[in-house]
Amino acid sequence: MKKTALITGATSGIGRATAHEFAKHGINLILCGRRQERLDTIEKALSKQTNVHTLNFDVRDKKATFNAIESLPETFKHIDILINNAGNAHGLDPIETGNIEDWDAMLDINVKGLLYVSKAIIPIMTKNNSGHIINIGSSAGKEVYPKGNVYCGSKHAVLAITEGMRIDLNPYGIKVGAINPGLVETEFSKVRFKGDAIADTVYKGYKALQPEDIADIIYFVITRPTHVNIADLLVFPTAQASSTIVNKNI
């Protein structure tokens, strides 16, 4: 039987690339994000390959999140795979001058949003005694770097929550794991630096990971045999050795 996957943050970057990868393999898709126009475009493109349903909600909005998942048509209600991907960094500032709105955004989206979506979907998986949850963490969840403070905190939280989910959902046969990329060339830097010109320099002078690289890994992870769960995976571009060491030729 065809599997159904729900992907948050499917309008851009890693989430969108994962939607394309899953569609190639005929996985039914529930694609989420706030930008309806983009959801429409992706739905139109991928509907040629698989069944697609889109949900427009902000993961910060608890009620909207539950309503959206509750609204799924019967044919999309049996969710086998959840990719908790929606998230971003907002700002790169020392803690003493950090912006409180940025802090709220990162904790509300990256941490609480992930929890709201999971809370709405986990009952479907526990009822079925099966399922697979992949949380997109970050190398920033493994290592704190200068000015990374709250973003790193949010991704450390994602890793702790992933472990907690794996422990608590163990009796139900549900797989839970985290995929933690280093630098991936997406709209991430545009969001982090709010469109400032510095955003364009982040992926210059070396070959950053591409969203398709992560999508490829996610597809590998979800296609392991039933008894194999990839619990935690760290992936860097070859040019990157740690959060602060990147071999740039500029």
85 binds ligand NDP, rule: CB under 6 A: yes
120 vs 84, 89, 123, CA distance in Å? 12, 24, 7
Q: How many CA atoms lie within 13 A of 47 on its CB side?
A: 9
Please identify, among the stretches 68-76, 95-103, 183-191, 221-229, the one whose residues bind ligand NDP according to the rule CB under 6 A: 183-191
CB of 87 within 8 A of CB of 109? yes
151 among known catalytic residues = yes
Q: Residue with the closest Cβ to ligand 8X3?
A: 138
Q: How far is the CB of 143 from ligand 8X3 (least distance, A)?
A: 9
Residue 247 CA: distances (Å) to CA of 140, 199, 234, 238:
18, 18, 18, 9
Choices 47-55, 84-92, 161-169, 229-237 (CB under 6 A): range interacting with ligand NDP:
84-92
Residue 218 binding ligand NDP, by CB under 6 A: no
- Give CA–CA dist 166/235, Å, rounded: 21
Q: How far apart are CA 218 and CA 213, in angstroms?
A: 9
Of 110, 139, 149, 162, the one binding ligand 8X3 (CB under 6 A) is 139
Footprint of ligand 8X3 on residues 145-164 (CB under 6 A)? 148
User: Contacting ligand 8X3 (CB under 6 A), which of 105, 158, 183, 246?
Assistant: 183
Question: Interface with ligand 8X3 includes 138 (CB under 6 A)?
Answer: yes
- Token pair in block for residue 210: 């591409």
Binding partner selected for residue 191 from ligand 8X3, ligand NDP, none, CB under the kind-specific 5 to 8 Å limit: ligand NDP
Closer residue to ligand 8X3 in complex, CB, 4/180? 180
Q: Between the CA of residue 110 and those of 47, 86, 221, 229, what are the distances in Å? A: 29, 7, 21, 23
Does the protein bind ligand 8X3 through residue 140 (CB under 6 A)? yes
Q: Using an 8 Å Cβ cutoff, are 110 and 161 in contact?
A: no
d(CA 219, CA 239): 24
Report the catalytic residues: 151
The contact set with ligand 8X3 (CB under 6 A) reads 89, 138-140, 148, 182-183, 243
